[in-house]
Chains A and B, each alone.
Chain A
């Protein structure tokens, strides 16, 4: 994986310089090369296919706009993934704010607090999953990922799904490696609990 990324970076340097000169065909090459991985990151982050498609589009457009700001210090792929992670996070934040506002308008503070507690993903998960006739593990896992806070989600997605190194995670998320480690540990623990509840047995 790492080797692939490195080799890709070397290739990318030439292509990126072409892109910086406004060559859109060169950029198309990069889109084709990275869209799949970007879509997978976005999808595992937000849990919606349509949303993740939009996020990927936005991320590429944003990357093209800000290509001049990209310095060769980081790998282009890492830079792209950082964009997609940030856009996914922003969408989650927006959704969260929206949900919170809706609750506030519907109920008073005390009730909404109670609802929040009920809505606690880990405790609600079984009831949600009961409705799923076919206990598709894939769906359960994704739902459990969705139940995590986005700061846990991103480390889990980037490390356990995408296989980035601790160092890369530290660069992308701009957090120390120690923080990556502890967040990852807590993310895995939370996911374990969720899966146990959902599947009964691991």
Chain B
């Protein structure tokens, strides 16, 4: 064994924590090796130096300092324990309640979100109704304006507001202003007031119902009966005619040309004429079209069959509409292009009428 190996083991040898074999080898080596003997000697001296190190005394205040900190810790720990254990009985139900709450709220969130998802699926219906809705609002708001512009004289019977009334009369229509004046003089102030309130009611009714001007007379009469307690008699046959004119003028004023047109265009959008396709066999077509629709990620909303005719409503994303039409042309003979899709038109639904050849 080399000296190095021996010296490595001298520490263990010195303490006797070594196998008998190793010990005998080391002892054998030490007999013949002065260097290793010195090494062992130095090692023993080193350890003795270390062992002779004085034991130091702790300062007198150490125990107090330690205990001060420990007591502080104990106090806070007790507080902490109180917090931790006493509400534990409460905490468990709290956790249970929290869990239930989360579950319930999650359910409601899901419930509120779900209809939105469904809505996005039938976006077409939504857009059409949306297009109609603002118009209705438009009309009703305009009507309200009209109501405001006509002072509610009828509601304060007996009060004399000739000035107001004449102002309103002027505002209504210039053409009827003259004849209106006649009516006023013929009926007298009170009568005129009553008449105007009746007229107001008629207008309201008319706008609500969107009735054409023609049955105005009957309407007026019906209204007249309703407000019979206020209007005893409308003198002269020329008055309904006058009122008709007034109504027309008012209607134009209130509704205005624009909103009428809007409504018309909205109506057009709602109903596209169906595309007519002539096919050899309806059943075959149904299969083929189903494939096409599936490929294009479109959706068949409705299929209606009656004899040799079939009506199919397909919903498609707007960019795919043209492709759908092209595919359809391949399987059937396009007879009527119906409301053919124009570029940039945002149309998502298409009706296809199928006729067996």
**Residues of chain B lying within 8 A (CB to CB) of residue A40:** 55-56
What mask results when residues 27 to 47 of chain B are scored 1 for a CB within 8 Å of chain A, else 0? 000000000000001110111
- Nearest-Cβ distance from residue B49 to partner chain A, whole angstroms: 5
Q: Is the CB of A57 within 8 A of B65?
A: yes
Q: Is the CB of A181 within 8 A of B66?
A: no
A36-91 interface (Cβ within 8 A of B): 36, 39-40, 43-44, 49, 53, 56-57, 60-61, 64-65
Q: Is the CB of A202 within 8 A of B69?
A: no
B170 within 8 A of A: no
A138 within 8 A of B: yes
When A31-B67, A56-B66, A185-B8 are in contact, do A191 and B56 touch as well, CB less than 8 Å? no
Q: Is the CB of A36 within 8 A of B58?
A: yes
Docked complex Cα distance between A43 and B11 (Å): 24
Which one, A35, A49, A137, A166, contacts B49 given CB within 8 A? A137
Docked complex Cα distance between A196 and B41 (Å): 12
**Residues of chain A lying within 8 A (CB to CB) of residue B133:** none
Q: Is the CB of A57 within 8 A of B74?
A: no
Which one, A61, A141, A142, A195, contacts B69 given CB within 8 A? A61
A16 within 8 A of B: no
Which one, B11, B66, B69, B77, contacts A185 given CB within 8 A? B11
Query: Which residue of chain A has the shortest Cβ distance to B70 in the bound complex?
Result: A64
B53 within 8 A of A: yes
B57 within 8 A of A: yes
Which one, A24, A160, A196, contacts B47 given CB within 8 A? A160
- Nearest-Cβ distance from residue B11 to partner chain A, whole angstroms: 4
B1-30 interface (Cβ within 8 A of A): 7-12, 17
- Nearest-Cβ distance from residue B229 to partner chain A, whole angstroms: 92
Q: How many residues of B contact A (CB 8 A)?
A: 35
Query: Which residue of chain A has the shortest Cβ distance to B51 in the bound complex?
Result: A160
A7 within 8 A of B: no
Query: Which residue of chain B has the shortest Cβ distance to A160 in the bound complex?
Result: B50
Q: Is the CB of B77 within 8 A of A22?
A: yes
Q: Is the CB of B70 within 8 A of A27?
A: yes
A189 within 8 A of B: yes
**Residues of chain A lying within 8 A (CB to CB) of residue B8:** 185
Q: Is the CB of B67 within 8 A of A24?
A: yes
Q: Is the CB of A161 within 8 A of B53?
A: yes
Q: Is the CB of B50 within 8 A of A60?
A: no
Q: Is the CB of A192 within 8 A of B58?
A: no
Q: Is the CB of B53 within 8 A of A192?
A: no
Q: Is the CB of A35 within 8 A of B53?
A: no
Docked complex Cα distance between A195 and B12 (Å): 20
B336 within 8 A of A: no
A188 within 8 A of B: yes
**Residues of chain A lying within 8 A (CB to CB) of residue B59:** 53
A139-168 interface (Cβ within 8 A of B): 141-142, 145, 156, 160-161, 166
Q: Is the CB of B66 within 8 A of A35?
A: yes
Docked complex Cα distance between A22 and B70 (Å): 10
**Residues of chain A lying within 8 A (CB to CB) of residue B78:** 22
Given contacts A35-B62, A57-B62, 10 further A-B contacts (CB under 8 A): A27-B70, A35-B63, A36-B55, A53-B59, A65-B73, A65-B77, A156-B50, A161-B53, A181-B11, A202-B41
B residues sitting closer than 8 Å to A (CB atoms) are: 7-12, 17, 41-43, 45-47, 49-51, 53-59, 62-63, 65-67, 69-71, 73-74, 77-78
A residues sitting closer than 8 Å to B (CB atoms) are: 22, 24, 27-28, 31-32, 35-36, 39-40, 43-44, 49, 53, 56-57, 60-61, 64-65, 137-138, 141-142, 145, 156, 160-161, 166, 181, 184-185, 188-189, 191-192, 195-196, 202
Shortest beta-carbon contacts, A-B, top 7: A185-B11, A202-B45, A192-B46, A160-B50, A60-B66, A39-B58, A64-B70
